[in-house]
């Protein structure tokens, strides 16, 4: 089972997860197709289930594949679709930013009616 980045990452794109990934399987979209959400993606074919990314994500957007909340089920398919279109993606560039506050995280959860 791979780890999955969910839409909780949309427009956040904090790369703390990519910084700790030993196999560089976390990608960002670099193409022109605007149908891809502005978020990071894990290539499930490359993920080695090391578990490093999940606790590193300050937005709590990453889940083990079999633990992805039902609300975010389509995001699992999106990560697999990314692997099929890997030529349009690049390994995520590490960019350090300020960690979100608990209020910002709660606000992000609320956008999707997600209650952990």
Q: Which residue has the higher pLDDT, 97 or 34?
A: 34
Token representation of residue 110? 């609320």
Residue 81 has what pLDDT? 96
Q: Which of 65, 68, 71, 75 is nearest to 37 (CA)?
A: 75
What's residue 34's pLDDT?
A: 87
If you average pLDDT over every residue of the chain, what do you get?
95
- The count of domains in the chain is 1
Which whole-number Å values give the CA distances from 66 to 4, 20, 74, 81, in the listed order?
9, 21, 13, 17
> Is the confidence at residue 98, as pLDDT, over 90?
no
Interacting residues of 3 by C-beta distance below 8 A, sequence separation 6+:
42, 47, 49, 51, 53, 54, 62, 63, 64, 65
Which tokens is 57 given?
Answer: 């994500």
Q: Among positive and negative, which fits the CA dihedral 77, 100, 89, 55?
A: negative
Please check the confidence at residue 35 and state whether its pLDDT lies above 80: yes
Question: Is position 116 within any domain?
Answer: no
Confidence of residue 107 (pLDDT cuts 50, 70, 90): very high
Q: Confidence band (pLDDT; 50, 70, 90) for 13?
A: confident
Domain that holds residue 16: 3-111
In a domain, 44, yes or no: yes
- What CATH number corresponds to the domain at position 77? 3.30.70.20
């Amino acid at each position: 089972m791979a780890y999955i980045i969910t839409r909780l990452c949309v427009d956040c794109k904090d790369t703390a997860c990519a910084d700790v990934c030993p196999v560089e399987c976390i990608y960002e979209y670099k193409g022109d197709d605007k149908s891809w959400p502005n978020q990071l993606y894990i290539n499930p074919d490359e993920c080695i289930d090391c578990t490093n990314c999940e606790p590193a994500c300050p937005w709590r957007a990453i889940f083990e594949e079999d633990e992805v909340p039902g609300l975010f089920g389509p995001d699992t398919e999106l990560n697999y679709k990314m692997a099929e279109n890997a030529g349009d993606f690049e390994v995520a560039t590490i960019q350090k930013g300020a960690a979100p506050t608990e209020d910002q995280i709660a606000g992000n959860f609320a956008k999707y009616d997600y209650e952990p």
